[in-house]
Amino acid sequence: MYASALLPIVALFPVALGQLNALAKAKGLKYFGSATDNSELSDTTYVSILSNISQFGQITLGNTQKWVYTEPTQNTFSWTQGDVITSFAEGNGQLLRCHNLVWYNELPSWITSGTWTNATLIAAMKNHIANEVTHYKGQCYAWDVVNEAFNDDGTYRVDVFYTTIGPEYIPIAFETAALYDDTVKFYYNDYNIEYAGAKATAAQNLVSSLKARGIRIDGVGLQGHFIVGETPSLASQISNLESFTALGVEVAYTELDIRFSSLPPTTAGLTQQGTDYVNTVMACVETKNCVGVTVWDFTDKYSWIPSTFSGQGDACLWYSDFTLHPAYYSVVTALGGTATATASTVTSSATTLATSTVTSTSAKATTTSSSGGGVAKWGQCGGTGWTGGTSCVAGTTCTYSNAYYSQCL
Protein backbone atom coordinates (compact mmCIF):
# COMPACT_ATOMS: atom_id res chain seq x y z
CA MET A 1 0.00 0.00 0.00
CA TYR A 2 1.31 3.42 -0.92
CA ALA A 3 1.68 6.06 1.77
CA SER A 4 -0.79 8.39 0.05
CA ALA A 5 -3.52 5.78 0.36
CA LEU A 6 -2.98 5.66 4.09
CA LEU A 7 -3.57 9.33 4.76
CA PRO A 8 -7.36 9.11 5.28
CA ILE A 9 -6.86 6.18 7.67
CA VAL A 10 -4.13 8.01 9.59
CA ALA A 11 -6.40 11.02 9.91
CA LEU A 12 -9.09 8.87 11.49
CA PHE A 13 -6.75 7.68 14.22
CA PRO A 14 -4.57 10.63 15.26
CA VAL A 15 -4.09 9.45 18.84
CA ALA A 16 -2.56 6.19 17.63
CA LEU A 17 0.29 8.22 16.20
CA GLY A 18 1.36 10.05 19.33
CA GLN A 19 2.18 8.21 22.52
CA LEU A 20 5.70 6.80 22.89
CA ASN A 21 7.44 9.91 24.18
CA ALA A 22 4.57 10.99 26.42
CA LEU A 23 4.35 7.55 28.00
CA ALA A 24 8.11 7.16 28.36
CA LYS A 25 8.37 10.53 30.11
CA ALA A 26 5.51 9.59 32.42
CA LYS A 27 7.60 6.54 33.39
CA GLY A 28 10.56 8.77 34.26
CA LEU A 29 12.61 8.80 31.06
CA LYS A 30 13.82 12.03 29.52
CA TYR A 31 12.71 11.08 26.00
CA PHE A 32 11.67 8.49 23.45
CA GLY A 33 13.23 9.46 20.15
CA SER A 34 14.08 8.56 16.57
CA ALA A 35 16.98 9.01 14.22
CA THR A 36 16.30 10.65 10.88
CA ASP A 37 18.08 11.75 7.73
CA ASN A 38 17.76 14.65 5.35
CA SER A 39 16.18 12.86 2.39
CA GLU A 40 13.37 11.51 4.57
CA LEU A 41 12.15 14.98 5.45
CA SER A 42 10.62 15.31 1.98
CA ASP A 43 8.13 12.55 2.86
CA THR A 44 5.06 14.34 4.23
CA THR A 45 3.53 11.28 5.91
CA TYR A 46 6.85 10.50 7.58
CA VAL A 47 7.31 14.09 8.74
CA SER A 48 3.81 14.27 10.20
CA ILE A 49 4.64 11.33 12.49
CA LEU A 50 8.19 12.36 13.34
CA SER A 51 7.11 15.91 14.20
CA ASN A 52 4.64 14.75 16.85
CA ILE A 53 6.43 15.45 20.13
CA SER A 54 4.03 13.17 22.00
CA GLN A 55 5.47 10.39 19.87
CA PHE A 56 9.10 11.45 19.57
CA GLY A 57 10.68 13.90 21.99
CA GLN A 58 14.20 13.55 20.65
CA ILE A 59 15.92 13.46 17.25
CA THR A 60 19.31 12.01 16.27
CA LEU A 61 21.03 12.97 13.03
CA GLY A 62 21.64 9.69 11.25
CA ASN A 63 24.46 10.91 9.03
CA THR A 64 24.92 14.58 8.30
CA GLN A 65 26.99 15.55 11.33
CA LYS A 66 29.60 12.94 10.44
CA TRP A 67 33.03 14.01 9.30
CA VAL A 68 32.58 13.36 5.56
CA TYR A 69 29.63 15.78 5.53
CA THR A 70 30.92 18.45 7.89
CA GLU A 71 34.57 18.75 6.80
CA PRO A 72 34.75 17.27 3.30
CA THR A 73 38.07 18.99 2.62
CA GLN A 74 40.56 19.98 5.25
CA ASN A 75 39.52 23.06 7.21
CA THR A 76 36.55 23.70 4.92
CA PHE A 77 33.38 23.14 6.93
CA SER A 78 29.83 22.55 5.74
CA TRP A 79 26.96 22.66 8.20
CA THR A 80 24.04 23.02 5.78
CA GLN A 81 22.70 19.46 5.88
CA GLY A 82 23.14 19.06 9.61
CA ASP A 83 21.47 22.38 10.22
CA VAL A 84 18.35 21.23 8.37
CA ILE A 85 17.73 18.53 10.96
CA THR A 86 18.78 20.56 13.97
CA SER A 87 16.35 23.29 12.88
CA PHE A 88 13.64 20.66 12.37
CA ALA A 89 14.09 19.38 15.91
CA GLU A 90 14.26 22.86 17.40
CA GLY A 91 11.07 23.87 15.59
CA ASN A 92 9.25 20.90 17.08
CA GLY A 93 10.65 21.44 20.58
CA GLN A 94 12.52 18.11 20.41
CA LEU A 95 15.82 17.31 22.11
CA LEU A 96 18.77 16.68 19.82
CA ARG A 97 21.38 13.94 20.12
CA CYS A 98 24.35 14.99 18.02
CA HIS A 99 26.14 12.16 16.23
CA ASN A 100 29.15 11.96 15.92
CA LEU A 101 32.59 13.59 16.19
CA VAL A 102 35.14 10.79 15.77
CA TRP A 103 34.36 7.51 14.00
CA TYR A 104 36.35 5.15 11.83
CA ASN A 105 33.70 5.26 9.08
CA GLU A 106 32.23 7.98 6.83
CA LEU A 107 35.52 9.85 6.83
CA PRO A 108 36.61 12.08 3.95
CA SER A 109 39.42 10.83 1.74
CA TRP A 110 41.77 13.53 2.97
CA ILE A 111 41.69 11.78 6.34
CA THR A 112 41.77 8.15 5.21
CA SER A 113 44.35 8.69 2.46
CA GLY A 114 46.40 11.40 4.10
CA THR A 115 50.00 11.13 5.21
CA TRP A 116 49.91 11.73 8.94
CA THR A 117 52.16 11.94 11.91
CA ASN A 118 50.94 11.67 15.47
CA ALA A 119 51.10 15.44 15.85
CA THR A 120 49.45 16.38 12.56
CA LEU A 121 46.49 13.99 12.95
CA ILE A 122 45.92 15.11 16.54
CA ALA A 123 45.87 18.70 15.29
CA ALA A 124 43.38 17.86 12.52
CA MET A 125 41.13 15.95 14.94
CA LYS A 126 41.21 18.74 17.51
CA ASN A 127 40.42 21.31 14.84
CA HIS A 128 37.47 19.29 13.58
CA ILE A 129 36.02 18.79 17.06
CA ALA A 130 36.54 22.43 18.00
CA ASN A 131 34.71 23.72 14.92
CA GLU A 132 31.80 21.28 15.06
CA VAL A 133 31.14 21.49 18.79
CA THR A 134 31.36 25.28 18.60
CA HIS A 135 28.93 25.45 15.68
CA TYR A 136 26.33 23.33 17.47
CA LYS A 137 26.96 24.72 20.94
CA GLY A 138 23.73 25.05 22.88
CA GLN A 139 21.73 22.95 20.40
CA CYS A 140 22.60 19.41 21.50
CA TYR A 141 21.49 17.46 24.53
CA ALA A 142 24.40 15.07 23.98
CA TRP A 143 27.34 14.47 21.64
CA ASP A 144 28.57 11.02 20.66
CA VAL A 145 32.21 12.07 20.93
CA VAL A 146 33.77 8.75 19.96
CA ASN A 147 31.83 6.02 18.16
CA GLU A 148 32.58 2.29 17.93
CA ALA A 149 36.22 2.26 19.04
CA PHE A 150 36.33 -1.42 20.07
CA ASN A 151 36.21 -4.79 18.36
CA ASP A 152 33.86 -7.45 19.71
CA ASP A 153 36.74 -9.10 21.57
CA GLY A 154 37.40 -5.88 23.48
CA THR A 155 40.53 -4.89 21.58
CA TYR A 156 40.84 -1.48 19.97
CA ARG A 157 39.55 -1.17 16.43
CA VAL A 158 42.40 -0.52 14.00
CA ASP A 159 41.70 2.66 12.05
CA VAL A 160 43.55 5.79 11.02
CA PHE A 161 43.22 7.31 14.50
CA TYR A 162 44.38 4.24 16.40
CA THR A 163 47.17 3.44 13.95
CA THR A 164 48.57 6.97 13.99
CA ILE A 165 47.81 8.25 17.49
CA GLY A 166 47.16 5.08 19.46
CA PRO A 167 44.42 4.65 22.06
CA GLU A 168 45.16 8.13 23.39
CA TYR A 169 43.05 9.55 20.56
CA ILE A 170 39.95 8.81 22.66
CA PRO A 171 40.95 10.83 25.75
CA ILE A 172 42.18 13.62 23.47
CA ALA A 173 38.80 13.71 21.70
CA PHE A 174 36.87 13.96 24.98
CA GLU A 175 39.24 16.55 26.43
CA THR A 176 38.95 18.67 23.30
CA ALA A 177 35.15 18.51 23.12
CA ALA A 178 34.90 19.66 26.74
CA LEU A 179 36.77 22.86 25.89
CA TYR A 180 34.04 24.11 23.58
CA ASP A 181 30.71 23.32 25.23
CA ASP A 182 30.29 22.98 28.97
CA THR A 183 26.54 22.31 28.84
CA VAL A 184 26.22 19.27 26.55
CA LYS A 185 26.55 15.64 27.65
CA PHE A 186 29.56 13.76 26.23
CA TYR A 187 28.97 10.11 25.31
CA TYR A 188 30.87 7.06 24.16
CA ASN A 189 28.61 5.12 21.75
CA ASP A 190 28.91 1.50 20.55
CA TYR A 191 27.09 -1.70 19.56
CA ASN A 192 27.31 -5.17 21.15
CA ILE A 193 27.85 -3.63 24.57
CA GLU A 194 24.22 -4.28 25.51
CA TYR A 195 25.16 -7.51 27.28
CA ALA A 196 28.05 -8.61 29.48
CA GLY A 197 31.22 -9.59 27.63
CA ALA A 198 34.63 -8.44 26.48
CA LYS A 199 33.35 -5.46 24.52
CA ALA A 200 31.12 -4.16 27.32
CA THR A 201 34.03 -4.58 29.73
CA ALA A 202 36.30 -2.61 27.42
CA ALA A 203 33.76 0.22 27.27
CA GLN A 204 33.44 0.18 31.08
CA ASN A 205 37.23 0.28 31.44
CA LEU A 206 37.30 3.27 29.10
CA VAL A 207 34.79 5.12 31.27
CA SER A 208 36.78 4.32 34.41
CA SER A 209 40.09 5.39 32.88
CA LEU A 210 38.71 8.70 31.61
CA LYS A 211 37.16 9.48 34.98
CA ALA A 212 40.37 8.54 36.79
CA ARG A 213 42.19 11.10 34.69
CA GLY A 214 39.60 13.79 35.34
CA ILE A 215 38.37 13.75 31.73
CA ARG A 216 34.66 14.38 31.35
CA ILE A 217 32.48 11.58 30.09
CA ASP A 218 28.78 11.86 30.93
CA GLY A 219 27.17 8.92 29.23
CA VAL A 220 27.40 5.67 27.32
CA GLY A 221 25.17 4.96 24.35
CA LEU A 222 24.23 1.33 23.81
CA GLN A 223 23.08 1.11 20.21
CA GLY A 224 20.72 -1.87 20.46
CA HIS A 225 20.82 -3.34 16.95
CA PHE A 226 19.19 -6.61 17.95
CA ILE A 227 17.80 -9.72 16.23
CA VAL A 228 14.32 -11.05 17.03
CA GLY A 229 14.63 -13.91 19.50
CA GLU A 230 18.28 -13.14 20.25
CA THR A 231 17.71 -9.95 22.22
CA PRO A 232 18.99 -10.08 25.82
CA SER A 233 16.40 -10.66 28.52
CA LEU A 234 14.99 -7.88 30.66
CA ALA A 235 17.04 -8.95 33.68
CA SER A 236 20.30 -9.21 31.77
CA GLN A 237 19.80 -5.82 30.13
CA ILE A 238 19.10 -4.16 33.48
CA SER A 239 22.18 -5.79 34.98
CA ASN A 240 24.30 -4.62 32.07
CA LEU A 241 22.98 -1.06 32.19
CA GLU A 242 23.69 -0.92 35.90
CA SER A 243 27.28 -2.01 35.29
CA PHE A 244 27.70 1.27 33.41
CA THR A 245 25.68 3.55 35.66
CA ALA A 246 27.64 2.27 38.67
CA LEU A 247 30.61 4.07 37.12
CA GLY A 248 28.87 7.43 37.44
CA VAL A 249 27.58 7.91 33.90
CA GLU A 250 24.09 7.96 32.44
CA VAL A 251 23.10 5.49 29.73
CA ALA A 252 20.68 5.38 26.82
CA TYR A 253 19.66 3.05 24.03
CA THR A 254 20.71 5.16 21.08
CA GLU A 255 20.03 3.19 17.87
CA LEU A 256 17.38 0.59 18.68
CA ASP A 257 15.96 -1.71 16.04
CA ILE A 258 15.14 -5.42 16.25
CA ARG A 259 15.34 -7.18 12.91
CA PHE A 260 14.00 -10.45 11.57
CA SER A 261 16.77 -12.64 10.19
CA SER A 262 14.36 -14.02 7.58
CA LEU A 263 11.23 -12.59 6.00
CA PRO A 264 8.28 -12.52 6.05
CA PRO A 265 7.86 -12.77 9.82
CA THR A 266 5.52 -15.31 11.35
CA THR A 267 2.82 -14.46 13.87
CA ALA A 268 5.01 -16.00 16.57
CA GLY A 269 7.90 -13.91 15.33
CA LEU A 270 5.90 -10.70 15.58
CA THR A 271 4.96 -11.61 19.14
CA GLN A 272 8.61 -12.25 19.96
CA GLN A 273 9.62 -8.93 18.43
CA GLY A 274 7.14 -7.23 20.73
CA THR A 275 8.63 -9.01 23.72
CA ASP A 276 12.15 -8.02 22.66
CA TYR A 277 11.21 -4.37 22.23
CA VAL A 278 9.42 -4.31 25.57
CA ASN A 279 12.34 -5.91 27.40
CA THR A 280 14.72 -3.28 26.04
CA VAL A 281 12.49 -0.28 26.68
CA MET A 282 11.54 -1.47 30.14
CA ALA A 283 15.19 -2.18 31.00
CA CYS A 284 15.80 1.53 30.51
CA VAL A 285 12.69 2.46 32.48
CA GLU A 286 13.77 0.26 35.39
CA THR A 287 17.39 1.45 35.45
CA LYS A 288 18.19 4.61 37.38
CA ASN A 289 20.11 7.02 35.13
CA CYS A 290 18.94 5.43 31.90
CA VAL A 291 17.62 8.56 30.25
CA GLY A 292 15.98 7.47 27.03
CA VAL A 293 15.44 5.22 24.04
CA THR A 294 16.05 6.19 20.42
CA VAL A 295 14.93 3.97 17.54
CA TRP A 296 17.22 3.98 14.52
CA ASP A 297 14.45 5.45 12.42
CA PHE A 298 10.90 4.48 13.19
CA THR A 299 9.79 3.01 9.85
CA ASP A 300 11.03 0.09 7.79
CA LYS A 301 10.74 2.36 4.77
CA TYR A 302 13.99 4.07 5.75
CA SER A 303 15.70 1.33 7.74
CA TRP A 304 19.38 0.63 7.08
CA ILE A 305 18.88 -3.10 7.67
CA PRO A 306 17.83 -4.43 4.21
CA SER A 307 20.78 -2.83 2.43
CA THR A 308 23.24 -4.13 5.04
CA PHE A 309 21.80 -7.54 5.88
CA SER A 310 20.36 -9.12 2.73
CA GLY A 311 17.01 -10.82 3.26
CA GLN A 312 16.55 -9.35 6.74
CA GLY A 313 14.43 -6.48 7.98
CA ASP A 314 11.06 -5.40 9.39
CA ALA A 315 13.11 -4.11 12.31
CA CYS A 316 11.22 -0.94 13.20
CA LEU A 317 7.95 -0.09 14.95
CA TRP A 318 6.25 1.06 11.74
CA TYR A 319 6.07 -0.93 8.51
CA SER A 320 7.16 0.65 5.23
CA ASP A 321 3.57 1.73 4.51
CA PHE A 322 3.33 3.46 7.92
CA THR A 323 1.06 0.88 9.48
CA LEU A 324 2.14 -0.21 12.93
CA HIS A 325 3.98 -3.36 13.96
CA PRO A 326 2.34 -5.30 16.77
CA ALA A 327 5.51 -4.42 18.70
CA TYR A 328 4.37 -0.80 18.79
CA TYR A 329 1.26 -1.77 20.73
CA SER A 330 3.35 -3.99 22.98
CA VAL A 331 5.63 -1.09 23.90
CA VAL A 332 2.73 1.28 24.44
CA THR A 333 0.98 -1.20 26.72
CA ALA A 334 4.16 -1.89 28.70
CA LEU A 335 4.64 1.85 29.21
CA GLY A 336 1.16 2.13 30.70
CA GLY A 337 -0.86 3.14 27.67
CA THR A 338 -4.12 1.65 26.48
CA ALA A 339 -4.57 -0.05 23.13
CA THR A 340 -8.19 -0.35 21.99
CA ALA A 341 -8.68 -2.09 18.67
CA THR A 342 -11.16 -0.79 16.11
CA ALA A 343 -12.85 -2.56 13.24
CA SER A 344 -10.86 -0.73 10.54
CA THR A 345 -7.92 -2.57 9.02
CA VAL A 346 -4.98 -1.65 6.84
CA THR A 347 -2.67 -3.97 4.97
CA SER A 348 1.00 -4.07 5.99
CA SER A 349 3.87 -5.81 4.26
CA ALA A 350 3.70 -8.69 6.71
CA THR A 351 0.06 -9.11 7.73
CA THR A 352 -3.32 -7.41 8.02
CA LEU A 353 -3.44 -5.65 11.36
CA ALA A 354 -6.21 -3.96 13.27
CA THR A 355 -5.56 -0.25 13.57
CA SER A 356 -5.50 0.71 17.25
CA THR A 357 -6.20 3.87 19.12
CA VAL A 358 -3.59 4.27 21.83
CA THR A 359 -4.09 6.59 24.75
CA SER A 360 -2.12 7.57 27.81
CA THR A 361 -3.35 6.62 31.25
CA SER A 362 -1.95 7.10 34.71
CA ALA A 363 -3.42 3.76 35.77
CA LYS A 364 -2.63 0.32 34.43
CA ALA A 365 -3.65 -0.18 30.79
CA THR A 366 -7.05 -1.63 30.00
CA THR A 367 -8.16 -3.07 26.68
CA THR A 368 -11.67 -3.57 25.38
CA SER A 369 -13.14 -4.94 22.19
CA SER A 370 -15.16 -2.69 19.93
CA SER A 371 -17.40 -5.60 19.08
CA GLY A 372 -17.75 -7.09 22.58
CA GLY A 373 -17.10 -10.67 23.53
CA GLY A 374 -13.70 -10.13 25.14
CA VAL A 375 -10.39 -8.36 24.68
CA ALA A 376 -9.70 -7.53 21.04
CA LYS A 377 -6.87 -9.00 18.97
CA TRP A 378 -3.50 -7.43 19.90
CA GLY A 379 -4.98 -6.16 23.16
CA GLN A 380 -3.54 -6.81 26.61
CA CYS A 381 -5.09 -9.66 28.56
CA GLY A 382 -2.65 -10.15 31.43
CA GLY A 383 0.60 -9.15 33.09
CA THR A 384 1.98 -7.80 36.35
CA GLY A 385 -0.66 -5.56 37.93
CA TRP A 386 -3.13 -6.10 35.09
CA THR A 387 -6.73 -5.44 36.17
CA GLY A 388 -8.47 -5.53 32.80
CA GLY A 389 -10.12 -8.30 30.84
CA THR A 390 -8.47 -11.69 30.50
CA SER A 391 -10.80 -13.34 27.95
CA CYS A 392 -10.03 -12.76 24.27
CA VAL A 393 -12.38 -12.41 21.31
CA ALA A 394 -13.15 -15.51 19.30
CA GLY A 395 -10.25 -16.72 17.20
CA THR A 396 -7.56 -15.41 19.56
CA THR A 397 -6.03 -16.65 22.78
CA CYS A 398 -4.34 -14.87 25.67
CA THR A 399 -0.66 -15.44 24.89
CA TYR A 400 2.14 -14.80 27.41
CA SER A 401 4.78 -12.35 26.15
CA ASN A 402 6.65 -11.45 29.33
CA ALA A 403 6.00 -10.60 32.97
CA TYR A 404 4.52 -7.23 32.02
CA TYR A 405 1.86 -8.35 29.63
CA SER A 406 0.09 -11.04 27.68
CA GLN A 407 -1.67 -10.32 24.38
CA CYS A 408 -4.71 -11.65 22.54
CA LEU A 409 -3.21 -13.27 19.46
Dihedral (CA of 117, 121, 124, 126) sign? negative
Evaluated on CA atoms 3, 9, 12, 16, the torsion sign reads negative
Return the CA Rg of the chain.
22
DSSP structural state of residue 54:
T
CA dihedral for 217, 123, 96, 327, sign (positive or negative): negative
Q: 148, 175, 194, 250: which one is catalytic?
A: 148
Q: What is the rounded CA–CA span in Å between residue 375 and residue 393?
A: 6
The rounded distance, in Å, linking the Cα atoms of 263 and 339 is 26
Would you tell me how many other CB atoms lie within 10 Å of the CB of residue 307? 8
Give the three-class secondary structure for 158.
coil
255 belongs to the catalytic site = yes
Name the region of 93 (left: φ>0; alpha: ψ -120 to 50; beta: rest). Answer: left
From the candidates 71, 132, 194, 255, which is the catalytic residue?
255
Q: Give the closest residue to 281 by CA, choosing from 320, 322, 329.
A: 329
**Element counts in the chain: helices (H) and strands (E):** 14, 14
Whole-angstrom CA distances from 177 to 87, 183, 217, 283 are 22, 11, 10, 30
Distance CA 284, CA 275 (A): 14
HSE, CB side, 13 Å, CA atoms: give it for residue 396: 23
Continuous segment of H or E residues that includes residue 364: none
148 carries an active-site annotation: yes
Q: Cβ distance 142 to 186 under 8 Å?
A: yes
Which sequence positions are flagged as catalytic? 148, 255
